[in-house]
Amino acid sequence: MTNTINQDTTMLLSRVASSCFWLSRYRERAEFTARLLDIQLITLLDTRSGSEYNDWIPLLRINGCLDLLQKDGRAITKEAVLHCLCLDTQNPNSIMSCLRNARENSRQAREQISSEMWEQVNSMYHDLAHLSRSELIANVHPTLQNVKNGALLLQGMADQTMMHGEAWQFIRLGRFIERANTTCRLLAVRSAPDHNDDEPYREAMYWMTVLKSASCIEAYHKTYAAPVARNSTIEFLLFNPESPRSILYCLEHAMDALNYISGSAGRRFHNEADRVLGQMATRIQYLRLDDIDLIQFLDELNACLYDVSDLVMQTYCSYEVA
Amino acid sequence: MDVQLATSMFTNYTQIPCYDEMFDIDGTPRPHYARLFQFLSEISSDQFEPRRQIADMDFLRRGITFTVYSSEEGVEKIFPFDLIPRIMPMAEWRLLEEGLKQRIYALNCFLHDIYHDQKILRDGVVPADMVLGSSNFRWEMVGIEPPHGIYIHITGTDLIRDADGRYCVLEDNLRSPSGVSYMLQNRTIMKTTFPALFDGQNVLPVETYPQELLKMLRFVSLVDNPQVAVLTPGIFNSAYFEHSFLARSMGVPLVEGSDLVVRDNRLYMRTTHGLKQINVLYRRVDDDFLDPLAFRSDSVIGAAGLLNVYRAGNVTLVNAPGTGVADDKSLYKYVPNIIRYYLSEEPLLDSVPTYLGRDDEDRRFILDNISELVVKEVNNSGGYGMLIGPHATAKECDLFRRKVSEQPWNYIAQPVIQLSAHPTYTSEGFAPRHIDLRPYILYGSEITLIPGGLTRVALKKGSLVVNSSQGGGSKDTWVVADDEHD
């Protein structure tokens, strides 16, 4: 006897689609935050400014928790920053908050994601939830390393243990939208006009840190075979077609996922989410760094990514039922 | 092989006055436990304890937990798991199987009868006021014919063994019984933590339960190739793990109330590409919360209009609404007569003698002997709202005497049954602890049982209450083929 294949294996509950999208965004955010912090801690050993405040401000801006830390009137010390970025559940972008949200969304999407994925995200959550502030400070690098590797393992599990159907495409979409978003924030803060260093070696160190934070310094070296400099770093992070960390790459792959979901095959947009993202992805394909006012462009990009995220939710998850 | 008694964790094992599952009255291991006893006698607590911790971590990692909301960040706990399996020989299991099939079949006949012709009430076999006056009798179900006439698709009957080792039914659990995922997960975790225990044992597999469940759910549909879904109250429900586990193992969507939409007397779920019809709903939501238009209007975990969809024959609900009337604690007393009435057969399984508060003679008996009896509320479960006379203070007995006098219909009493005991790992080595048994019975094209079940164990010394809410744990339950023990 052969079984009839369930015609609706592609059928995906709206609520579960949303959870797949968000679990993936939080996974990516946890990975990014861990790497950002890890790199900054190492960089600071060479380039301390003499003011802890100045050392940490850019990081807090990128993470979006500067106001939270300052609101409490706490001194900005290394310990306070570590706690805020890693364990503080008041900070919605702390690694702990990201893992908790990734786990809650995974729980909602339990019928779609594989057991391997669930056990991985669950273990990561419990590992960090049982960590005290003092344990964290004593073992910062191994802890951050575990988060990065654990998050990458989770991603690999999604790619290798799930059906590559619609739920997986929502996971893929979430990953690339989130990565474009964090890279955009990284660039916006790091290329802010107030940054200016006369010492050439410090300037090189600075942009090397940016590349390391985006996990692509080796890819950069391979591409340019030239010393690290501001413009080529920005160009690489925005336009490189082959680096999975560049914004161009992220948008193209996000577009591909959206096309799969809407069934549009990329020929013509089917809905607003397709249209808004497609317009930006196409535009960035044909841009050069000289064509744009960087800060203004990053603002537009940021706004576009927020809109796309909202539009995806409206189109597939929170639509009105007639 | 010499049993190293000096280090054996059985050294301080002292039998308690009840049926011991592993040892006969002389302390000799029963034949079907001989191999397990041999293995466990040679193991020290230094070898055992790390395995117990690994098993606990495994439950936590798999997220088989429930949450205690005492602090801001809810504390997640696992249900305690005891690594010593409970073993049943095949012959014993066959008797249970036949007895349960008979009982479930008769209870289903009873439900069909009381929602249609009510012959059994007119014949006076069961008091009409007890059935029709029950808060679990659903008037909305009168005259509705469920597909294939099946009401109780899934049952988890609680059984205990008395001092002579006789199996008795304690509760029928005809409404969304839970725990089946523990039957399966306990086995999985046993296999990875203690594979050596399985050597030379012919343990029958339980893994196919979800397939059997899916087969049944597809059978009870009114359409070909039906869309099946599992309805859960949501991630905060203590059985959420089980709901998602079953949905995943069957490959069907796990829906919540917010996913459901009723249009034109049909049930739909919201998908990324619009509404999709559901034909069979395995609901793990109580009757009361199923449909705010029909039952409790404050429910947000059901679907408004669902009962109308059911009445129109456009969805199969599993179990059918209204089955609770057949498993309340006062009706329990009548089940043997229900079996005789519909099947003209003698019940194969024993029941526990039961005294009804609503019956004058029984009530006098309860009031006079309360300190010797277990008194239970008719409509309560989970070990709540009960009195165990011999363990209770005079004040507690007085309180229940007053309760029984004021609301006699709401109470029943039974003699204290010393549940059978099973060696269980404790801080003082292996010690006897009381257990019960919950097998799971499916009613589709036929009535089937998976060989196994959930064995619950009262971890507190001397306790007779096995419920997880009252400090109970569980054990893996093995049905072993006989030929291994010739």
- Cβ contact B62–A13 (<8 Å): no
**Angle at B116 (CA atoms; ends B110, B120), nearest 5 degrees:** 45
Beta pairing partners, B229 = B281
Tokens linked to B371: 């300190």
**A15–B256 C-beta distance less than 8 A:** yes
pLDDT score of B41: 93
B244 and A7 in contact by Cβ < 8 A? no
**Is pLDDT of B458 > 90?**
yes
Predicted-complex ipTM score:
0.87
Contact A13 B61 (CB under 8 A): no
What is the per-residue pLDDT for A99?
A: 98
Measured between CA atoms, the residue of chain A closest to residue B260 is A13
Q: Which of A5, A111, A320 to probe the B interface (max B CBs under 10 A)?
A: A111
Does the pLDDT of residue A310 top 50, yes or no?
Answer: yes
Decide if pLDDT at B450 tops 70. yes
Task: Say yes or no for a CB contact (<8 Å) between A14 and B272.
Answer: yes
- Both tokens assigned to B323: 């089955």
Q: What is the mean pLDDT of residues B25-33?
A: 94
Collapsed DSSP state (helix, strand, coil) of residue B154: strand
- What's the mean per-residue pLDDT of chain B? 91
Mean pLDDT of B144-170: 95
- Across the interface, whether the CB atoms of B276 and A11 are under 8 A apart is answered yes
Q: Which residues from chain B sit within 8 angstroms of residue A6, using beta carbons? A: 251
- Residue A89 forms contact with B (CB below 8 Å): yes
Distance from CA of A12 to the nearest CA of B (A): 5
Comparing alpha-carbon positions, the chain B residue that sits nearest to A120 is B61
Query: From the centroid of its chain, how far is CA A23?
Result: 12
Q: Which two tokens stand for residue A55?
A: 């050392």
- The residue ranking higher by pLDDT, A202 or A290, is A290
Q: Which SS3 state, helix, strand or coil, does residue B375 take?
A: strand
Is residue A159 within 8 A of residue A175, CB to CB? The reply is no
Residue A110 to chain B, least CA–CA distance (Å): 6
The whole-number average pLDDT for the span A84-88 is 95
Give the per-residue pLDDT at B5.
47
Residue A1 has pLDDT above 70, yes or no: no
**One-character DSSP codes across B408-448:** GGGEEEEEPP---EEEEEETTEEEEEEB-BB-EEEESSSEE
Q: Does A270 touch chain B (CB under 8 A)?
A: no
Contact B247 A89 (CB under 8 A): no
Using pLDDT thresholds of 50, 70 and 90, give the confidence band for residue A258: very high
Please report the pLDDT score of residue B483 as a whole number: 60
Q: Which residues contact B188 (CB under 8 A, 6 or more apart)?
A: none
Residue A283 has pLDDT above 90, yes or no: yes
Counting residues of chain A whose pLDDT is more than 90, the rounded percentage is 78
What is the band of B484 on the pLDDT scale with cuts at 50, 70, 90?
very low
Please report the sign of the dihedral spanned by the C-alpha atoms of residue B133, residue B139, residue B144, residue B147: negative
User: Could you check whether the bond before residue A302 is cis, i.e. omega within 30 degrees of 0?
Assistant: no
Cα–Cα distances in Å, from A218 out to A182, A213, A223? 19, 12, 9
Closest residue in A to B59 (Cα–Cα): A119
* DSSP-assigned states of every residue in B36-54: HHHHHHT--HHHHHHHHHH
Looking at the complex, does the CB of residue A15 fall below 8 Å from at least one CB of chain B?
yes
Query: Looking at chain B, which residue has its C-alpha nearest residue A106?
Result: B235
Flag whether pLDDT at B91 surpasses 80.
yes
CA distance B151 to B320: 5
Among candidates B225, B270, B276 on the partner chain, residue whose Cβ is nearest the Cβ of A321 = B270
* Collapsed DSSP state (helix, strand, coil) of residue A12: coil
Contacts of A166 in chain B (CB under 8 A): 272
Backbone φ, ψ for residue B382 (5° rounding)? 75, 15
**Placement of tokens 């679907």 in the chain:** B303
Alpha-carbon distance of B262 to B240, in angstroms, equals 24
**H or E segment and range at residue B61:** helix B45-61
Q: Is the pLDDT confidence value at A14 over 90?
A: yes
**Paired tokens of A212:** 């390391």
Average pLDDT of the segment spanning A229-233: 93
Q: Residues 146..175 of A with a Cβ closer than 8 Å to B: which?
A: 166
CA distances from B361 to B123, B352, B368 (A): 22, 18, 11
Give how far A312 is from chain B: nearest CA, Å. 10
pLDDT tens for each residue of A121-135: 999 999 999 899 999
Question: Which DSSP helix (H) or strand (E) runs through A69?
Answer: helix A66-71
| pLDDT averaged over every residue in chain A | 91
Residue B431: Cβ-neighbour burial (10 angstroms; 0-12, 13-18, 19+): buried
The span from the CA of A303 to the CA of A298, in Å, is 9
pLDDT digits (tens, 9 = 90+) for B367-426: 999 999 999 988 776 667 789 888 889 999 999 999 999 999 899 999 998 899 999 999
To test the contact with chain A by mutation, choose from B56, B62, B73, B272 the residue with the greatest count of A C-beta atoms within 10 A, namely: B272
Among the partner residues B225, B227, B248, nearest to A111 by beta-carbon distance: B248
| Interchain CB contact of A1 with B (< 8 Å) | no
Between A and B, how many CB-CB pairs are < 8 A? Answer: 71
Closest A-chain CA to B62: A119
B248 contacts on A by Cβ (under 8 Å): 110-111, 115
Alpha-carbon span B132 to B454, nearest angstrom: 33
Contacts with B235 from chain A: Cβ below 8 Å:
104, 107-108
Cβ distance of A166 and B272 shorter than 8 Å:
yes
Interface of B with A (CB under 8 A): 60-63, 73, 225, 227, 235, 240, 244, 247-248, 251-256, 258-259, 261, 263, 269-273, 275-276
Is B85 within 8 Å of B298 (Cβ atoms)? Answer: no
Contact A13 B259 (CB under 8 A): yes
CB contact under 8 A, A118 and B73: no
Q: How far is CA A248 from the centre of its chain?
A: 14
Nearest CA in chain A to B245: A111
Question: Mean pLDDT lowest for which of B18-27, B76-85, B247-256, B308-317?
Answer: B76-85
Q: What is the pLDDT of residue A197?
A: 63
For residue B195, give both structure tokens.
Answer: 């594979």
Q: Is the predicted pLDDT of residue B471 greater than 90, yes or no?
A: no
Q: Are B244 and B233 in contact (CB under 8 A)?
A: no
Per-residue pLDDT at A198: 64
Which residue in the set B244, B261, B271 is minimally distant from A111, CB to CB? B244
> Is pLDDT of B154 > 70?
yes
Rounded to whole angstroms, the Cα distance separating B261 from B256 reads 11
Tell me the mean pLDDT in the region A81-88. 95
pLDDT over threshold 70, residue B363: yes
The distance of A178 to chain B (nearest Cα, Å) reads 21
pTM for this one? 0.91
Closest residue to A14, CB basis, from B63, B227, B271? B271
Tell me the C-alpha distance between A85 and B102, whole Å.
62
Q: Alpha-carbon distance B485 to A34, whole Å?
A: 58
Looking at residue B476, what is its pLDDT?
96
Query: DSSP per residue over B237-284, as a string?
Result: STTHHHHHHHHHHHT--EE-GGGEEEETTEEEEEETTEEEE-SEEEE-
Please say if the pLDDT value at position B24 is more than 90: yes
CA-based R_g, chain B, Å: 23
Q: What is the pLDDT of residue B13?
A: 93
- Report the run of H or E that residue B82 belongs to, with start and end: strand B81-89
Residue B62 is nearest to which of A119, A319, A321, comparing CB atoms? A119
Closest CA to B449 of B87, B102, B84, B81: B102
Nearest CB to B270 within list A14, A108, A110: A14
Question: Which of A 188-227 lie inside 8 A of B, CB atoms?
Answer: none
Confirm if B440 and B177 have CB atoms less than 8 A apart.
yes
Contact B62 A122 (CB under 8 A): yes
- In single-letter form, the type of residue at position B52 comes to R
Nearest residue in chain A measured CA to CA from B233: A108
A6 touches chain B (CB under 8 A): yes
Partner-chain contact A15 B275, CB within 8 Å: no
pLDDT digit string (tens) for B173-225? Answer: 999 888 999 999 999 999 999 998 998 889 999 999 999 999 999 999 989 99
Is it the case that residue A205 has pLDDT exceeding 50? yes
pLDDT (mean) for B50-58? 92
Q: Which two tokens stand for residue B281?
A: 């709903």
Interface check for A126 against chain B (CB to CB < 8 A): the answer is yes
| Closest chain B C-alpha to A205 CA, distance in angstroms | 41
Residue B104 · residue B447 · CB < 8 Å: yes
- In B, minimum Cα distance to A116 occurs at B62
Q: Is the pLDDT of residue B485 over 50?
A: no
B270/A15 CB distance under 8 A: yes
Distance from B69 to chain A by nearest Cα, in Å? Answer: 16
For residues B346 and B325, is the Cβ–Cβ distance under 8 A?
no
* Residues of A whose CB is below 8 A from B247: 110-111
Per-residue pLDDT tens digits for B270-323: 999 999 999 999 999 999 999 998 888 888 889 999 999 999 999 999 999 999
Q: Are B363 and B357 within 8 A, CB to CB? A: yes
Contacting residues of B for A108, CB less than 8 Å apart? 235
Q: What is the pLDDT of residue B486?
A: 43
pLDDT given for residue A113 in this prediction? 95
Q: What does residue B227 show for φ and ψ, rounded to 5 degrees?
A: -85, 115
- Any idea which residue has 């020989």 for tokens? B89
Poorest-pLDDT segment among A31-35, A240-244, B327-331: B327-331
CB contact, 8 Å: A118 with chain B? yes
